[in-house]
Amino acid sequence: MTDSPRFETAAIHAGQDPDPATGAAVGPIYQTSTYVQEGVGRHRGYEYSRSDNPTRRALEACLAALEEARHCVAFGSGMAAIATLAMTVRFGDRVVIPDDVYGGTYRLFDQVMGSLGLRYDTVDMTDLAAVKQTLGDETALVLVESPTNPRLRILDLRALAELAHAAGARFVVDNTFATPYLQRPLRLGADAVVYSATKYLGGHSDLVMGAVTLDDDELAERLRLLQNSAGAVPGPFDSWLVLRGLKTLAVRMRQHCANAERIAAFLREQPAVGRVHYPGLEDFPGHPLARGQMDAAGAPLYGGMVSFETESEERALRVCESTRVFLLGESLGGVESLIEHPARMTHASLEGSGIEVPATLVRLSVGIEHPDDLIADLGQALG
Ligand SMILES: *Cc1c(COP(=O)(O)O)cnc(C)c1O
């Protein structure tokens, strides 16, 4: 291997040297909870798999390499990663999240962290003046997503990092939608990046996992302590599956993006479709920002998520229930295309919050099937 392998190369080799014991090209799944010690306290760095496991360690090394980060800490789910990050702030602190945010993240701060004394504010993060007004002395953490879910709004990550830091807060980006192949928030000023590895990183809709990547040694040490102390760790087999998924992340993302671009263009031409939300559309409000920050692959790529508005909730529900190739289901980022109704499915926890998503909205996770089949499927569902 070269000193600084490129993304596609690191995805296949980082943290994955051939097994020294057998020469196996693909690392073993260390499906074990404990490790035999040669004498009391004399071991080879592994004692118990909540604390550390070689398969999980390999995954963390690979994901850190892809992010060009010093550290990666893996968790049992994306929510476990976010909840553990939330444990790094103190009683009485405030967290600021966007008003267009993953429903589970909203629920965590609204229904769980609140009772532990952690307060939160939501704000439209496309409005930097409003963000500035919301930030205060007590703000300890600003957690954002870009593109946002489900409206694919693009946030100015560089500007938000500056605002958060000026207020003395940590700036964390949930990069689940973009993946490190398209966007590197650490380079744009983020202190940490969080992933639901359930989505594109795993890429095959067959596991649930999360991770945090970061450069900050002190915060990494704290997260390692919390990983072991709170114990929201992924198992060895799931770690191995994500390692396997990462190997094809770049080629999958290129196809997700190409298919999504075609579908967004198709939807735009449909009389039954209102606004199409896709950062790759040139007249999409966030397009210029996306072009400047979703460019880690060497040229801008706009992701595999598309959402669109229909004329009524009935119509949105009918479309969701009429596709044959697009499967009706929550989640995203797998090779198979998914369709869903955010207001009643992924974002149902926002009901009554004042930041509900419109009931006329349909969200697509565009897979890597042949784009003509996907377009034909949407055509008949809209027809
Ligand atoms: C799915 C998702 C999460 C939560 O991840 P899980 O692995 O389901 O716990 C967090 N953020 C975003 C943007 C997601 O899409």
Q: What's the pLDDT band for 3 if we cut at 50, 70, 90?
A: low
Count Cβ atoms below 10 Å from residue 345 Cβ, excluding itself. 17
Residue 1 lies in a domain: no
Contacts of 260 (CB under 8 A, 6+ apart): 278, 280, 302, 303, 304, 305, 306, 364, 366
Q: What atom of ligand 1 comes closest to residue 198's alpha carbon?
A: 7
Count Cβ atoms below 10 Å from residue 360 Cβ, excluding itself. 19
Active-site residue, 50 included: yes
Residue 299 CA to ligand 1 center (angstroms) comes to: 26
By C-alpha distance, which of 223, 228, 197, 225 is closest to 210?
A: 197
Structural domain ending residue among the three candidates 247, 265, 290: 247
Structural domain ending residue among the three candidates 214, 247, 280: 247
Lowest-confidence region among 17-21, 54-58, 139-143, 234-238 = 17-21
β-partners of residue 98 are: 123
Q: What's the pLDDT band for 25 if we cut at 50, 70, 90?
A: very high
Q: Are residues 319 and 351 in the same domain?
A: yes
In this structure, which amino acid lies at residue 152?
Answer: L
Q: Are residues 68 and 122 in the same domain?
A: yes
Residue 78 CA to ligand 1 center (angstroms) comes to: 5
Structure tokens belonging to residue 240:
């191995």
* Catalytic position from the list 93, 156, 174, 191: 174
Look at residue 1 and tell me whether its pLDDT is greater than 50: no
Active-site residue, 283 included: no
Look at residue 104 and tell me whether its pLDDT is greater than 60: yes
- CA distances (Å), 144 to each of 109, 156, 237, 261, 381, in order? 13, 10, 30, 24, 33
Residue 336 CA to ligand 1 center (angstroms) comes to: 17
* Catalytic position from the list 151, 170, 184, 199: 199
Give the range of the structural domain holding residue 294, as residue numbers without chain letter.
Answer: 249-382
How many independent structural domains does the chain possess?
2
Q: Are residues 59 and 202 in the same domain?
A: yes
Give the pocket of ligand 1 (CB within 6 Å): 77-79, 102, 104-105, 145, 149, 174, 176-177, 196, 198-199, 208, 210
Look at residue 223 and tell me whether its pLDDT is greater than 80: yes
Answer whether 291's CB lies under 8 Å from 300's CB: yes
Q: Are residues 229 and 290 in the same domain?
A: no
**Residue to probe by mutation, ligand 1, list 196, 204, 345, 357, most atoms within 8 Å of CB:** 196
pLDDT digit string, tens, across residues 275-298: 999 999 999 999 999 999 999 999
Q: What percent of the chain has pLDDT over 90?
A: 91
Q: What percent of the chain has pLDDT over 70?
A: 99
Look at residue 2 and tell me whether its pLDDT is greater than 60: no
The CATH number of the domain where 360 resides is what? 3.90.1150.10
* Catalytic position from the list 30, 56, 57, 102: 102
Give nearest CA residue, ligand 1 atom 5. 78
Look at residue 85 and tell me whether its pLDDT is greater than 80: yes
pLDDT mean across residues, the chain: 96
Active-site residue, 35 included: no
Q: Are residues 277 and 206 in the same domain?
A: no
Structure tokens belonging to residue 306:
């598309």
Q: Are residues 181 and 156 in the same domain?
A: yes
pLDDT digit string, tens, across residues 310-349: 999 999 999 999 999 999 999 999 999 999 999 999 888 7
pLDDT digit string, tens, across residues 206-218: 999 999 999 999 9
Structural domain ending residue among the three candidates 206, 225, 247: 247
Give nearest CA residue, ligand 1 atom 6. 78
Residue 37 CA to ligand 1 center (angstroms) comes to: 38
Residue 79 CA to ligand 1 center (angstroms) comes to: 6
The CATH number of the domain where 233 resides is what? 3.40.640.10
Residue 165 lies in a domain: yes
